[in-house]
Structure 1
Amino acid sequence: MNTNEALFKATALALKQQKIDFDIADEPGFFKLMLNSGLSGIIIPYLDTSKYSNTFIQKTNSTLYAFIHQDQKQKVLINQIKTTFQQHNIDHIFLKGTKLKQLYPDTYMRGMGDIDVLVRSDLDVIKNHFKTLGITLESRTLQHDQYITKDDLLIEIHPSIHKDFNPKYQTYFKSAWEHTVLVTGCEYTLTPTFEVIYLVYHLAKHVESSGIGLRSLLDIAVYIEKNYDQIDVKALNDTLTSLQMTKFFQTILYLNKVYFGLEVPLLDSSFTMNDALIEQVTTYFLTSGIHGKGSDFNAMAPRLAASENKGKSKFKVLLRIALPKMVDARGMYPVLNKHHYLYPFMMFHRIIKLIFFKRQSSLKKIRNLNESNSKRSEIEQLFEDIGIY
């Protein structure tokens, strides 16, 4: 059994809450792959500690403790956010990780980088309330305000969940508040039908912009299994068809069957993938890791192949990275939110900084871009085959 197969088998056993006691030939490789895939919190609690080396068990125990500690801190912060928003009548929806954590046997099993919240409020009002709690605004873009707490927990406050990264999605996700159910007071939740579509959309966005770990793939299967009775299947399928997301959705469900043995109810029995494509997409997902942070992954590869860059030369892509559009530059330079006319000066400042103060980082990006360009057509074909485009 190779390391990939060991990861899939371990995850499948953990999902059934069964002990993991088979031989792992390459413990360091398995540990690295488990971390990059975002599956540590799921697998580690079910490892039979008597079967593996002391070094491996010490590393996994340390990782598990970090997951539990982070989860406890995030729970406290989530309750603090809820209380603040309820007190000040701020409509809000907790997105992604906060919601998905609840679907696993223990919330720490599903790691979460930041707490994402969709709001219906003036963002400066939230900034003032957070300031009284010692929560600091780090950056502001059209997509979200990012905050950091005193103990380095991250919060993203979203005025919208829509991002124009692929023209086929157009404006559908701008209507999120039309697909909500009241939880209590000012807290809402997305309807299960809309939330499935949103999770698939968010996954597609990360495939195009960076990469994904297997945890995000698994999330969708787990979510559907837990909420299937509340999903309007016809509305779901009609929307997936209209957004040209059906192929990618079925790819996600099919890979969950291949990897973890999960027979998700919405998987089309006629859908299939050949072995060569499965191997190619598996290598891509496992290498990229969560949000493209895999230790051996070239994050420039998907950026070249992304929808917004199709047909563009690598020079134009590099130029856009060096000189971002105003909407993206506002996050880097908050002063642009009030003084748009400073954009040329900020871009000049950025170029000077990239050339003289971040020279090594800039050269690395150029090398990565050159390396990625040779594989561009291969990744574009992969994106086509799994339904990203």
Structure 2
Amino acid sequence: MNHLLTGRYAVHLIDSLLQGTAPENKPEEISFEDLYRLSVFHNVSTMCLSALKKTDQEIEPELLKKWENRSALSTGQSMTQLHERKSIYEALEENKIDYLPLKGCLLKDMYPDPNYREMSDLDILIREKDADQIKSLMENMGYTCDAFRQYVHDGYYRKPFMHVEMHYRLLSEEHFRIHSWDVTHGDFFFNPWKYAHKAEGCRYCFDEDDLYVYLIMHLAKHYLGSGAGIRQFTDLYYLNQNLHLDKDAVYEKLDQFGLKEFCITAEHLVETWYQGREPDEKTSEMESVVFRSGSYGTQDISLNRQMDKYEKEHSSSTFLAHYMRERLFPSYDELKNQYPGLRDHPERLPVYWTKRILTKGVQAVPQKLKDAKAISRILKERKGK
């Protein structure tokens, strides 16, 4: 697949849908099969198909049926999410529990059709003191709790595809450590309720500048980790269309984490896609990563980024041993989010290493072998360059 040409045509389709214009026909160099695969990879298949249907291009019947089925499934999932979002909000209101919608819960409403904005889960900020009561509410609504007080959020699942994350914090200290962000400026992310404002009833919101900073940080976390795709960057377009931002204040806050230039480049990339801005070297480089990332990033991007960081101080030949050691024996900062009992007892770290290996070791073996093979392959590729 030519990721660059296919990605740019997918973006053109989305742009035509947003602008209400008829898209051009696809370049001969790309196939509809590749376009379908990329649109699914980036969770923009519904938008791409909706735009394609405004052209006179003929898609192979078998592929068209597969695409339409995928779009129908995505639309059905979206409608279920919207219904469940309303039900959860109502349950929280009835029980006088404060909540603050995050990420896709907000972004869906910024798109011309909420069903265009595909997402995997609902994200809601709660007060940690309400976690037990919310757990009972969610279980009464038919959800199963699959993660409770193990990280920065509690996770809930209900068949066939409903996932809900109830967050206590926006980001963890571990996220800051991984990306070398200054933790002394992280209070908004660790104690977000201090910055929340009542909107209506029990619903709260952030100032628009703070909301934008959070979403840029969240985007950067993914992009600088395993990658971020077309959908996440398209969100930036809608944020800038819908929010009244003080960009000087936003950039000043992001500069505390070394992310001002990242934000500006990301904004410029979106402007090249949807507002006719001329690309430059920085946006072209970012675009290449975005098209290869998909909605949730890839293992190759993640491993290459980790290797780049490791090679600044060590030899790449020792990376595999380092990586496996980090996976088997994570740091205190990483494990304290998974095991709350460790938070006040860092001296018990070896005990939790053992517990983790005993409970997850056998199940994790196939993934560890897969990781080792991927690292060996990437090391060979890097040596060959």
* Pairwise TM-score range, normalised by the shorter structure: 0.7 to 0.9
Equivalent residue number for residue 353 of structure 2 = 347
Instruction: State the TM-score, normalizing by the size of structure 2.
Output: 0.82
Equivalent residue number for residue 236 of structure 1 = 250
Equivalent residue number for residue 369 of structure 2 = 363
Contact 1:301 1:373 in 2 (8 A): no
Equivalent residue number for residue 196 of structure 2 = 180
Mean alpha-carbon deviation: is it higher for 342-351 or for 77-86? Answer: 342-351
Equivalent residue number for residue 75 of structure 1 = 82
Equivalent residue number for residue 220 of structure 1 = 236
RMSD: 3.2
Equivalent residue number for residue 29 of structure 1 = 34
Contact 2:14 2:48 in 1 (8 A): yes
Is 1:46–2:59 an aligned residue pair? no
Equivalent residue number for residue 324 of structure 2 = 318
Cα distance change of structure 1 residues 65 and 119 upon mapping to structure 2, 3 Å threshold: same
Is 1:129–2:137 an aligned residue pair? yes
Cα deviation 1:266-307 (Å, max 9, x = unaligned): xxx9xx732xx544433322122112158xx5543334446x
Matching residue's letter, 1:4: G
Distance 1:20 1:219 in 2: 20
Equivalent residue number for residue 272 of structure 2 = 258
Contact 2:43 2:118 in 1 (8 A): yes
Corresponding residue to 1:60 among 67, 80, 103: 67
Distance 1:161 1:354 in 2: 26
Contact 2:236 2:270 in 1 (8 A): no
Distance 1:109 1:283 in 2: 23
Equivalent residue number for residue 286 of structure 2 = 281
**Tell me, what secondary structure is at the counterpart of 1:301?**
helix
Could you tell me the percent identity over the aligned residues? 21
Distance 2:208 2:97 in 1: 22
Contact 1:301 1:376 in 2 (8 A): no
Instruction: State the TM-score, normalizing by the size of structure 1.
Output: 0.82
Matching residue's letter, 2:94: Q
Distance 1:82 1:368 in 2: 43
Distance 1:157 1:329 in 2: 19
Corresponding residue to 1:201 among 205, 217, 223: 217
Using the TM superposition, give the Cα deviation of residue 260 of structure 1 relative to its aligned residue in structure 2, in angstroms: 3.2
Distance 2:198 2:339 in 1: 36
Matching residue's letter, 2:11: F
Cα distance change of structure 1 residues 374 and 125 upon mapping to structure 2, 3 Å threshold: farther
Q: What are the equivalent positions in structure 2 for 1:133-172 lying under 5 Å apart?
A: 133-140=141-148, 141-164=150-173, 165=175, 166-170=179-183, 171-172=186-187
Cα deviation 1:161-200 (Å, max 9, x = unaligned): 0223233242142353344332211101222111111111
Distance 1:198 1:207 in 2: 14
Equivalent residue number for residue 292 of structure 1 = 297
Using the TM superposition, give the Cα deviation of residue 3 of structure 1 relative to its aligned residue in structure 2, in angstroms: 2.1
**Tell me, what secondary structure is at the counterpart of 2:21?**
coil
Equivalent residue number for residue 382 of structure 1 = none
Distance 2:240 2:155 in 1: 29
Using the TM superposition, give the Cα deviation of residue 67 of structure 1 relative to its aligned residue in structure 2, in angstroms: 1.6
Matching residue's letter, 1:364: K
Matching residue's letter, 1:153: M
Cα distance change of structure 1 residues 309 and 334 upon mapping to structure 2, 3 Å threshold: farther
Using the TM superposition, give the Cα deviation of residue 343 of structure 1 relative to its aligned residue in structure 2, in angstroms: 5.7
Cα distance change of structure 1 residues 336 and 81 upon mapping to structure 2, 3 Å threshold: farther
Distance 2:248 2:338 in 1: 42
Equivalent residue number for residue 102 of structure 1 = 109
Equivalent residue number for residue 247 of structure 1 = 261
Is 1:190–2:190 an aligned residue pair? no
Equivalent residue number for residue 97 of structure 2 = 90
Cα distance change of structure 1 residues 336 and 243 upon mapping to structure 2, 3 Å threshold: closer
Distance 2:363 2:142 in 1: 32
Matching residue's letter, 2:273: Y
| Unpaired runs of at least 5, structure 1 | 264-268, 378-389
Equivalent residue number for residue 19 of structure 1 = 22
Cα deviation 1:121-171 (Å, max 9, x = unaligned): 412222122222222210132311111124331111111102232332421
Matching residue's letter, 1:86: E
Using the TM superposition, give the Cα deviation of residue 350 of structure 1 relative to its aligned residue in structure 2, in angstroms: 4.6
**Tell me, what secondary structure is at the counterpart of 1:89?**
coil
Distance 1:201 1:7 in 2: 25
Cα distance change of structure 1 residues 360 and 132 upon mapping to structure 2, 3 Å threshold: closer
Corresponding residue to 1:120 among 124, 127, 132: 127
Distance 1:167 1:14 in 2: 39
Contact 2:227 2:301 in 1 (8 A): no
Contact 2:104 2:122 in 1 (8 A): yes
Contact 1:41 1:64 in 2 (8 A): yes
Using the TM superposition, give the Cα deviation of residue 328 of structure 1 relative to its aligned residue in structure 2, in angstroms: 4.2
